Structure 1
Amino acid sequence: MTTDDTRTITAEWVEDIAVGGAVLGGGGGGSLTKGIEFGELAVEYGRPTIVSVADLDPTDVVLTVSGVGAPAATESHVDPADYVRAVELLVDRLAADGTTVGALMTNEMGGFATVNGLLQSAVTGLPLVDAACNGRAHPTGPMGSIGLSQDAESVQAAVGGVPGTAARLETVVEAELGTAASLVRHRWG
């Protein structure tokens, strides 16, 4: 990957990115207020970076980051560290097979979704790709898979739930996309 066009996301950009995602997102994508807070946390923590798709090497593996949410859920619990931990789990799992992750990409546009990846970039040093793979939220994994449901296997990580309770989940799933998506979206506890 070339680094000539790598840009650091600054605090001044965060609100513009979140508002742009909220306006351009086609539905879902989370809270604008929480998105701005999450983006501000990322730039307070470190230096999230963003690169153009054109700057990626064709062999770079790009992890798609997303939040699995249910706006009406009253018991959901995901800490910012959980977003980072999910990326770490996938990076470690892929490294076990000799695969190196080159970048991150948000799954969709929306008030929160657009900034998803900034904290993970700040912590891991992986750049975020200036592109969204879906554009909008989808109620099922296969619907939002950009054609990956045709692949034989999907590797996904999920982290969340109140620590110390039966509802806490930290897992890596390797399965057909529909099966993996069902496991990640299952209500535990």
Structure 2
Amino acid sequence: MKTLDEVELECLVYGAAIFGTGGGGDPEKGLKLLLEDLRNGRKLRLIDLKELSDNNLIVCPYFCGTIAPTSQKHANIVYDDPIVESFKKIEKILGEKVSAVATTELGGFNTAVALHVASVMDIPLVDGDYVGRAAPELLQSTANIFGVPLLPSVIATSTGNLIIIERCANLDEYERIARTVSLSSGSAAVVDTPIRVSLAKKVLIKGSVSRCIEIGKIVKNANAVGQDPIPELIRKLGGTLVFKGLVKKYSWSDTGGFLYGEAVYEGVDEWKSHELKIWIKNENIIAWMDREVVITAPDLIIVVNEKGYGITNTELKEGMKAFVIGAKAPEVWTTKKGLEIFGPRHFGFAFGYKPLKVKKHSNPKIHLKDEKKEKVD
């Protein structure tokens, strides 16, 4: 078991935001939450599954809802920390002390939230997650690939809703319930997937939290000495530089508890005269270059700025400079069941999964000029 210090927490959040593929929540809020925990004297600990007993119980705390910016005003706050309320309630329902928590996904806020809950309850965060990146729906969990029940579940909102779900007709119905609850306050604090460590060893994508810290260190250390982090970031991700350019157009809507959007990038350097389009459902899901599909979920479409920091779709704006990196998803997602719940057809597209082609770029560094860009008709 390892106790994380302030630098490691920063690196964790930076790395998780990169794996967040445009979603996963606000990394600034995530880091602020963890630093507050640190200042309050809480221990933020990371543990390998091997260090736990097979009979130990693990649960999964996270927030569900749109990542769209909103000015909507909600009712009076009842729960200051609804995710902790959900955790305490599910522990009572299970009638057993939870030994550790696992993060549902890798994202700047949701990964931080899981570690926050662990610190409040004085237990560790498991070094692993259920996606290996961020994903828009509750369906996209390796638990669903292996047929592991997500229920019972507790869902709370800051406005005072506290809902216990013991049984659902199916996973789609569970998604609809959680998403509908999130609309009342912008997000819903969910704790679900209570499982034994023996089962978690089969289901979780192991080592993913440590990998976030490693990726975050690359970005942080490179910037500290004025170096370009992009080449080493791509190498460590085992990925490929798909595109360099500027955001030409970005349109989005906040619909049904999701941010749906489309971002169009105009190329520079070797991508000049080319255009990249990304379809978004909270996260980056499908990418086309010049109308040809180049990356599809479950593979990762990562958008970072010149300094290598992940750009969320909440903060994406027209005129932004960006590097688009493709990286392969964990192999479990390219199985038949994985693609059923995370491939393009699941999102309503008429085509199937197109495996990412990883190619080497000898020097992906580019200086994007600040001068007014040419208009591409």
TM-score, normalized by length of structure 1?
0.80
Give 4+ residue runs of structure 1 displaced > 4 Å after superposition: 76-80
Alpha-carbon separation, structure 2, partners of 1:139 and 1:76? 24
CA shift digits 1:138-177 (9 cap, x unpaired): 3332233532683567111111133xxxxx3122211135
Match of residue 182, structure 1, among 158, 176, 189: 176
Alpha-carbon separation, structure 2, partners of 1:145 and 1:36? 26
C-alpha displacement of 1:88 = 0.9
Which consecutive unaligned segments of at least 5 residues does structure 1 have? 1-5, 163-167
Give the counterpart letter for 1:181 in structure 2: E
Q: What secondary structure sits across from 1:54 in the alignment? A: helix
C-alpha displacement of 1:188 = 3.8
CA pair 171-73 structure 1, distance change in 2 beyond 3 A: farther
Match of residue 52, structure 2, among 49, 53, 56: 56
* 1:9 matched residue in structure 2: 4
Alpha-carbon separation, structure 2, partners of 1:22 and 1:153? 25
Alpha-carbon separation, structure 1, partners of 2:55 and 2:92? 18
* 1:147 matched residue in structure 2: 144
Contact 2:152 2:165 in 1 (8 A): yes
Contact 1:137 1:144 in 2 (8 A): no
C-alpha displacement of 1:121 = 1.5
Give the counterpart letter for 1:185 in structure 2: R
Match of residue 173, structure 1, among 136, 156, 165: 165
Contact 1:50 1:127 in 2 (8 A): yes
Alignment of 1:12-31 (within 5 A): 12-31=7-26
Contact 1:154 1:180 in 2 (8 A): no
Q: State the identity as a percent.
A: 22
Q: What secondary structure sits across from 1:116 in the alignment? A: helix
* 1:3 matched residue in structure 2: none
How many residue pairs are counted as aligned between the two chains?
A: 176
C-alpha displacement of 1:180 = 3.3
Alignment of 1:102-113 (within 5 A): 102-113=99-110
Match of residue 114, structure 1, among 111, 116, 119: 111
CA pair 31-129 structure 1, distance change in 2 beyond 3 A: same
Contact 1:18 1:111 in 2 (8 A): yes
Alpha-carbon separation, structure 1, partners of 2:106 and 2:80? 19
CA pair 180-37 structure 1, distance change in 2 beyond 3 A: same
* 1:131 matched residue in structure 2: 128
Match of residue 47, structure 1, among 37, 43, 61: 43
C-alpha displacement of 1:18 = 0.1
Moved more, 174-183 or 104-113: 174-183
Give the counterpart letter for 2:128 in structure 1: A
CA pair 175-76 structure 1, distance change in 2 beyond 3 A: farther
Give the counterpart letter for 1:161 in structure 2: S
Structure with larger Rg: 2
C-alpha displacement of 1:122 = 1.7
Give the counterpart letter for 2:5 in structure 1: T
Root-mean-square deviation (CA, aligned residues, Å) is 2.6
CA shift digits 1:21-80 (9 cap, x unpaired): 112334411112111111112222311221112112111221011111202262487876
Alpha-carbon separation, structure 2, partners of 1:55 and 1:43? 23
CA pair 155-11 structure 1, distance change in 2 beyond 3 A: same
Give the counterpart letter for 1:160 in structure 2: T
Contact 1:26 1:135 in 2 (8 A): no
CA shift digits 1:63-113 (9 cap, x unpaired): 011111202262487876112111111111111xxx442210111111112
Higher relative contact order (CA 8 A, sep 6+): 1
